[in-house]
Amino acid sequence: MISVASLTVDRAAAGLDYDLDAVPPWQFAIHFGDLAPLCPSRLRPVAGRDYNRQRNALRVEIVPDSDRCLRKSPDGRGIAWLASGGSPIDYGACCPSGCPRSAP
């Protein structure tokens, strides 16, 4: 029997429309590796951008090492943090353990 999660992955691979909100949280947790790249809340910080704008202090380079989740904003306002000039590195990491789509 095919699951909603695997059907969503198959539809995306075929270039058809898919709805991640229809995937139950427990299936999203199981198929996180396949569904996470399809998530519209996933944000990939660009390496080499000047996310840390300090000028007269010890400069510590922050290298974005993983994708970020727009649903894990630092101030709880969602994408408003990014729209108001906040850094994408401040968002929580896109990982299976804290994914809002896989939370019950």
Q: Give me the tens of pLDDT residue by residue for the chain, a chain 104 residues long.
A: 889 999 999 999 999 999 999 999 999 999 999 999 999 999 887 765 555 555 555 655 555 678 899 988 888 888 888 888 888 888 888 998 889 998 87
DSSP 3-state of 66: coil
Cα 67 from Cα 93, distance rounded (Å): 6
**What's the pLDDT at 98?**
85
**What's the pLDDT at 57?**
57
With a threshold of 0.85, does the pTM exceed it? no
Cα 95 from Cα 44, distance rounded (Å): 13
Please list, in sequence order, all residues whose beta carbon lies within 8 angstroms of the beta carbon of residue 29, skipping any fewer than 6 positions away. 96, 99, 102
* DSSP codes joined into one string, 29-57: HHTHHHHGGG-TTEE-PPTTS------SS
